[in-house]
Amino acid sequence: MESWLFLALVLLIAIFGHNSSLIIATVVVMALKLIPYTAKWLPLIQHKGINWGVTVISVAILIPIATGQIGFNDLWAAFKTPAGWIAVGMGIAVAILSKYGVNQLAAVPQVTVALVLGTIIGVVAFKGIAAGPVIASGMTYCIVTLLNLHF
């Protein structure tokens, strides 16, 4: 019963914060809980879900290459600017930090509660987005803006 109350609270916060991603995610999890015999599938989704999510995000990131919006000229142009090199560095930094973060989640599952709370607050109260690769872009934006650089 506690899990239902917790999910309902998350859903209410998501609705109050007008965050459709969190609303959809919470409703999906609640629906999964209603389906008989999903108790054995939920740990699999928990374990593999981050990888599936990263795959979906990676597909979305690669679409502009597939549609021709981004080509080799854009890649070479990025490497000609300090902002481009910062973006590469931030991508590397986020990938490394994410590796340690995933390892920590496996070793110390209690941190998940704090992360969920922090993510909910960040998404709802500060209109953030709960997405890893976007962090690299945000970090790049901050540094590029701070240093007054341009692509």
Q: Give dist(CA 107, CA 122) in Å, integer.
A: 24
- Residue with tokens 């890649």, as numbered in its chain: 75
* 53 lies in some domain: no
* 10 lies in some domain: no
pLDDT for the residue 40:
83
Given a cut of 90, whether residue 59 has pLDDT beyond it is yes
Other CB atoms within a 10 A radius of the CB of residue 149 amount to: 15
Please count the structural domains in the chain: 1
* 77 lies in some domain: yes
Q: What is the pLDDT of residues 97-146, one digit of tens each?
A: 777 776 666 677 676 677 777 778 888 888 887 765 556 666 777 787 88
Q: Give dist(CA 38, CA 150) in Å, integer.
A: 49
This prediction has a pTM of 0.65
Q: Give dist(CA 21, CA 134) in Å, integer.
A: 15
Q: Which structural domain range is residue 104 located in?
A: 70-150
Q: What is the pLDDT of residues 20-30, one digit of tens each?
A: 888 999 999 99
Q: Give dist(CA 49, CA 52) in Å, integer.
A: 5
Query: What mean pLDDT is predicted for residues 76-85?
Result: 90
* 122 lies in some domain: yes
